[in-house]
Amino acid sequence: MKRKFGKRKTAQVMEIDITSLLDILVILLVFLLKSYNASSLKLTLNKGITLPKSELRKLGAHAVTLQIDQNKDIFENGNKIANINDLSALTDFLEKKRGPASSSEHNINLVFHKDLSYQTIKAVMNTCASSTYSKFKFIVKGNY
């Protein structure tokens, strides 16, 4: 019988190539990390500011955050900087924040009371843009 069938073959260990599986897992990990938003941006609102509502869930970036209340007072970190009637004080504040000889564009987060007029918002935005803070993010109240 041994002659007819020859030598018995030894069992070989089957190896599974998991390289392509690892490639897929790495791609999934990249997409999951890209969609993860763990912003530590925290904002304490001043009294007298009621935020408008929004459906967007993207958070603002870390930047200078200005809050403008219903009396048109401008605050940064709870400290009053100026009033809308004195935008030169806001310009001075922004230039101090920016630092000397900086000509690149800077980010700024703006928090407006929901009842402020468009002219007020436009005046603040123009003042910020003239001080190289031309990348605006508006902070609003989310519905989630």
pLDDT at 137: 84
Is the domain of 88 the same as that of 130?
Answer: yes
Using CA of residue 125, residue 128, residue 133, residue 134, what is the dihedral sign?
Answer: positive
pLDDT band at 6 (very low <50, low <70, confident <90, very high): low
Is the pLDDT at 113 greater than 80? The verdict is: yes
pLDDT at 35: 76
Is the domain of 93 the same as that of 125?
Answer: yes
Say which residues have a Cβ less than 8 Å from residue 61's Cβ, sequence separation at least 6.
39, 41, 107, 109, 137
CATH code of the domain containing 136: 3.30.420.270
Residue 40 forms part of a structural domain: no
Is the domain of 69 the same as that of 30?
Answer: no
Mean pLDDT of 134-142: 79
pLDDT band at 105 (very low <50, low <70, confident <90, very high): confident
State pTM to two decimals. Answer: 0.56
Mean pLDDT of 41-62: 65
Domain extent, residue 117, equals 53-142
Residue 28 forms part of a structural domain: yes
Is the domain of 17 the same as that of 67?
Answer: no
